[in-house]
Amino acid sequence: MRYLPLTEADRREMLGVIGAKSVDELFRDVPASAVLGGKIAGLPDHQGELEVERAFQAYAAKNLSPGSDPFFIGAGAYRHHVPATVDYMIQRGEFLTSYTPYQPEITQGTLQYLFEFQTQITLLTGMEVANASMYDGSTGTSEAVLMANRVTRRHKALISGGLHPQYRRIIETTAKWEGFKAVVTAVDAGGLEDLIAQVDKETSCVVVQNPSFFGHVRDFTKLAEACHAAGALLIVVVTEVVSLGLLKPPGEMGADIVVCEGQSIGNGLGFGGPYVGLFATRDKYMRQMPGRLVGETVDADGKRGFVLTLSTREQHIRREKATSNICTNAGLCALAFTVHLTLLGEAGFRRLAEINHAKASELADRVSAIPGVKLLNDSFFNEFTVRLPKPAAPVVEALAAKRILGGLPVSRLLPDDPSVENLLLLAATETATEEGMGPLVAALKEVL
């Protein structure tokens, strides 16, 4: 077996040093009832690299990977171009095969990029402090609600109808089992929801998304003021982080916690994971944050260095009193994010956002010009919602049969809500081309 260096001679010699006759002796604490005669039955034996690769090629061949085919799906995961440098860098063994930097003297590489990452997140979101990443945007959002409950000592979260339906579902699940109230408002496809009247003295936080799941761009300054007047926190979720290159950051609207899905920068679609959650807040709430934090310090020679810090919040120190049970974060995905954003820089990041907005504007104009199709958005970044004259799900299936991945039928995520049956969510990033938009529009005309 190519991964196992011990030879039979090694094993015999090692058993001799141990003073055991066979390896079975080392397993003598296993109860007799659980001892198996040989291998576990019903599973194949080892294979060479060639055979393994072929098996995965066979899986891959059964999927429709967009390649250069028309592609317009978003809804919390976006197809962007990732520079080759990013993937090269995260495959360096020194990053790929290192672990949590428990020994800072020999993990300054990881610690420094995480410090850079934390700084980048504060700049993007307009916030004061950020952690070293969460699993993803969806789990980070529910951690933000838990944090708001801790900060306010209240137990009622108000959840916008513009938040990604799966994110909403995760908060509801957390609420049910961890014991707080999640008030989930009606689905807001039109982007007109006003939650101010519902914020009261029991509200721990209000959770909104910008741009919303349906693509609307909103100003939450007044909502932030209403939250603060009532002693609640405003949590702003951003599932398309590229939008922050063009849009007023949540920090400037008065957000108290900002959670982003960071996948768009540096990380591919990957069928939904692993992604990277970005989590930022105000300095005053620093010690209530979940997740790992990297801080600057000095070493014994007085040189600048970085360490994991404020770990008295964390489970390995505080155990049942920890701010969260989280241990691992998304280190390598955070590296991909940081390398990509460093390549982009100020000029590249802002231009990337402009291109996304321009492409989506073009697509919105062309799709909404199709007879019977109505654009629901006055505002959007790179994603918008249209109402079709018939149910969207079969339309999307018909497009897929033509190798066109033509958006998300909203009913896929909200199957019980008849009001969204005809809604189609379309996204266009810098990867959208005339060769993609033309066939999409033509096919839509044909199918509708």
Partner 1 sequence: MVQSLDRSQGRDGGSAGGVAASPANTHGTFTGNRALQIEEPLIFEMGQPGRCGVDLPEPAKVKDRLNGLRRSGEVGLPGLSEPQVVQHYTRLSQKNYAIDMGVYPLGSCTMKHNPRINEKVARLPGIGDLHPLQPVSTVQGALELIDCLAHWLKTLTGMPAVAMSPAAGAHGEMCGMMAIAAALEAKGERAQRRIVLAPESAHGTNPATAAALGFTVKPIPANDRGRVDLAALKAALGPDVAAIMLTNPNTCGLFESEIVEISKAVHAVGAYFYCDGANFNAIVGRVRPGDLGVDCMHINLHKTFSTPHGGGGPGAGPVVLSAALAPYAPYPWIVKQGDKWTIAEDGGALKSLGIEGTPLGRLKAFHGQMGMFTRALAYIMSHGADGLKQVAEDAVLSANYVMAALGDTMSPAFEGPCMHEALFDDSFLKGTGVSTLDFAKAMIDEGYHPMTMYFPLVVHGAMLIEPTESVAKEDLDQFIGALRSLTARAKTGTAAEAFKAAPLYSPRRRLDETLAARKPILRWRPSNNFKEAAD
Per-residue contact flags (x/-) with partner 1 for residues 235 to 274, judged by CB under 8 A? ---------xxxxxx------------------xxxxxxx
- Torsion angles phi and psi, residue 123, rounded to 5: -65, -45
In angstroms, the CA 146 to CA 155 distance is 9
Under 8 Å between Cβ of 357 and 382: yes
Q: Which of 8, 42, 197, 434 binds partner 1 (CB under 8 A)?
A: 42
Q: Which of 162, 262, 331, 436 binds partner 1 (CB under 8 A)?
A: 331
Nearest to 70, CA basis, from 441, 447, 446, 445 = 441
* Binding span for partner 1 by CB under 8 A among 194-202, 226-234, 321-329, 440-448: 321-329
443 counts as binding partner 1 under rule CB under 8 A: no
Q: Is the peptide bond before 211 cis (omega within 30 degrees of 0)?
A: yes
Q: In the window 94-113, what residues touch partner 1 (CB under 8 A)?
A: 94-110, 112-113
**Least distance to partner 1, CB of residue 80, Å:** 11
Q: Which of 259, 408, 420, 443 binds partner 1 (CB under 8 A)?
A: 408
Per-residue contact flags (x/-) with partner 1 for residues 58 to 97, judged by CB under 8 A? xxxxxxxxxx---x-x-xxx-x---x-x-xxxxxxxxxxx
Under 8 Å between Cβ of 243 and 78: no
In angstroms, the CA 167 to CA 139 distance is 8
- Long-range contacts, 62-67 (Cβ 8 Å, 24+): 64/400, 64/403, 64/405, 66/405
**Least distance to partner 1, CB of residue 426, Å:** 12
6 counts as binding partner 1 under rule CB under 8 A: yes
Instruction: Decide whether 166 or 200 has the Cβ nearer to partner 1.
Output: 166
Pairing of strands 423-427, 408-409: antiparallel
Instruction: Decide whether 214 or 349 has the Cβ nearer to partner 1.
Output: 349
Under 8 Å between Cβ of 193 and 160: yes
187 counts as binding partner 1 under rule CB under 8 A: no
355 counts as binding partner 1 under rule CB under 8 A: yes
* Total site size for partner 1, rule CB under 8 A: 212
225 counts as binding partner 1 under rule CB under 8 A: no
- Give, for 34, the enclosing helix (H) or strand (E): none
* Binding span for partner 1 by CB under 8 A among 150-158, 366-374, 406-414, 432-440: 406-414
**Least distance to partner 1, CB of residue 197, Å:** 21
* Binding span for partner 1 by CB under 8 A among 138-146, 193-201, 229-237, 440-448: 138-146
For residue 233, count other CB atoms closer than 10 A to its CB: 27
Q: In the window 363-382, what residues touch partner 1 (CB under 8 A)?
A: 364, 377-381
Instruction: Tell me if residue 290 falls in helix, strand or coil.
Output: coil
Instruction: Tell me if residue 448 falls in helix, strand or coil.
Output: coil
281 counts as binding partner 1 under rule CB under 8 A: no
137 counts as binding partner 1 under rule CB under 8 A: yes
In the chain, the amino acid numbered 162 is: G
**Least distance to partner 1, CB of residue 5, Å:** 4
HSE, CB side, 13 Å, CA atoms: give it for residue 425: 28
